[in-house]
Amino acid sequence: MKLVHGDLSGEIVNEQKECVEWIIESPELFSKYVGELYKQANKDEGEFVLSENNKEIDIAKYSEIVINPLSVEINNRKILNKLYEENEIYLITHRSNHFFKNPELVTINWLNEKGIKYDKLVFTKSRDKSPECIENSIDIMFDDEADKCKYILNAGIEWFLMKTRYNENYSLNIPIVNGWKEIYSLICEKNKYNVILDTDTYNEADDQFALSYLLKNKEIFNIDAITIAPFRTEKCQENVSDSIDESYNEACKIFDLLGLKDKSLIYKGSRDYLKNGYNETNPAINKIIEIANKNKKTYILAIGCLTNIALALKNNPEIKDKIEIIWLGSNFLFGSNKDFNFDQDVEAVKTVFESKVKLTVMPCSPITSNLMTSIYELESELKGKNELCDYLCYKFYNRTYGPTKRWPLWDISVIAYMINKNWFNTMDVSCPIINDDNSFKLTENRHNIKFVNYLNANEIFKDLFNKLTDNK
């Protein structure tokens, strides 16, 4: 394949499966020839001639002009479109009329021709893109020109430089990305939910299922901590304090079964309830406060009583604006307060409700009680798949439920809610008041909380079993 031009005596390209460089030192000639190539690649006339075996072929059909290294190869189109599906994509570009009378239209046509999807296309009048970034609330900016970073950095926007030959020697301390795959991985990491799981792990087998489910979804969750919530049952614990150690050991057991040797994510929590006057700090409370203050947003997935979280809010009320709680507990819309997580520490529930923290309530009955299963169903899906699955079946059988009884895995609902909210329906309700007799008084004019009123048990179980049996 050959590329020639009428102004030049020799061939520009005589391809022998090698990369060919044509260096044009004159800015005027560079503009002329690149502009001509651009026109011909877009089916306009020009002086370039492309041939193969001495037969002229169509430049527009057999070539692609890439001015910007952020332009897209065919192989990267899937990555870009996946980014579009999962994020809001804004293209912010400065286009002069040096090559074309209407560069905006040329840009739009090129994007459409390549099948590149985006949410908004923004044209700037200068090389400083920071005003447009601020106006459009851009979180992360990618560009190929290092000299633009001074504007973006001054605007307080996170900025990454696409590595190119011409920016290799830039002096500013800006992180480098090496292609669209790397960009996709970086954004996926930043899009993870920062979560704390607050769990009474030893209480029932659904806690072990929930913890395992969370740990098997690390592509979705950035797990900052596992905090141990207190509980007491008449059959198992002489006092609340015992449950902390039992649950801590059980969480460590799940970590071991998943090959996770580092237990530093697990923190022991409160050894009594607020309703009993307990007001001590502990590793769990301190960690909740630390993580909440560190992250822009932290989700606390609470599948036990709310003692740890309430104490964190009492000790540092400012964190309420930086956390969101999804709590398995309370059936107030269904006229019942017969709920284990509610009854364990009503004072903690009052504290959380009155804090005005962003809250989603996941009621046990009649919503998460639909996550009903039996040992026969579990063994048919899980037994023999890996050590973790065998252990979960064992715990379900031996802890409470026996061979014949069907029983709900309530706690997995909170994890599933974060994985895919399309499996749930929610409604905004005015936060209820808890009366002195622990009943609920429904209200109309208080701050709103979300209340889950439906879940798709089939989809949740399907995803749960897929994740637990995945041995990657």
CB 428 within 8 A of CB 416: no
Within 10 A of 54 (CB to CB), how many other CB atoms are there? 6
Based on C-alpha coordinates, what's the Rg of the chain?
Answer: 30
- Look at the block and give the residue holding tokens 């799940």: 254
**Cβ-contact 374, 405 below 8 angstroms:** yes
Q: What pLDDT, on a 0 to 100 scale, did the predictor assign at position 184?
A: 82
For residue 243 the two structure tokens come to: 């449950």
Neighbours of 470 (CB within 10 A): 10
Q: What residues does each domain of the chain span?
A: 2-62, 74-189, 192-469
* Residue 187 and residue 87 in contact, taking contact as beta carbons nearer than 8 Å: yes
Alpha carbons 352 and 195: distance in angstroms, whole number: 18
Structurally, at CATH architecture level, domain 74-189 sits in 3-Layer(aba) Sandwich (3.40)
Q: Hey, what CATH topology would domain 192-469 get?
A: Inosine-uridine Nucleoside N-ribohydrolase; Chain A (3.90.245)
Q: Phi and psi (nearest 5°) for 422?
A: -70, -15
Lowest mean pLDDT, pick from 45-59, 89-103, 339-353, 363-377: 89-103
**Unique residue bearing structure tokens 């090496």:** 178
CB 166 within 8 A of CB 183: no
pLDDT digits (tens, 9 = 90+) for 236-292: 556 889 999 999 999 999 999 999 988 999 999 999 999 999 999 999 999 999 999
- Read off φ and ψ for residue 29, nearest 5 degrees: -70, -35
CA dihedral (302, 307, 313, 316) in degrees, to 10, reads -120
> For residues 299 and 292, is the Cβ–Cβ distance under 8 A?
no
Q: CA of 229: how far to CAs of 131, 163, 200, 344, 464, in Å? A: 47, 47, 5, 11, 23
Assign 3-state DSSP to the chain and report helix, strand, coil percentages, each to 5.
Answer: 40, 20, 40
Record the pTM.
0.70
- In sequence order, which ranges of 216-306 are alpha helices (DSSP H)? 240-257, 283-294
pLDDT at 69 over 50: no
| pLDDT tens-digit readout, 210-222 | 999 999 999 899 9
pLDDT tens sequence across 375-389: 999 999 999 999 999
* DSSP 8-state assignment for residue 418: H
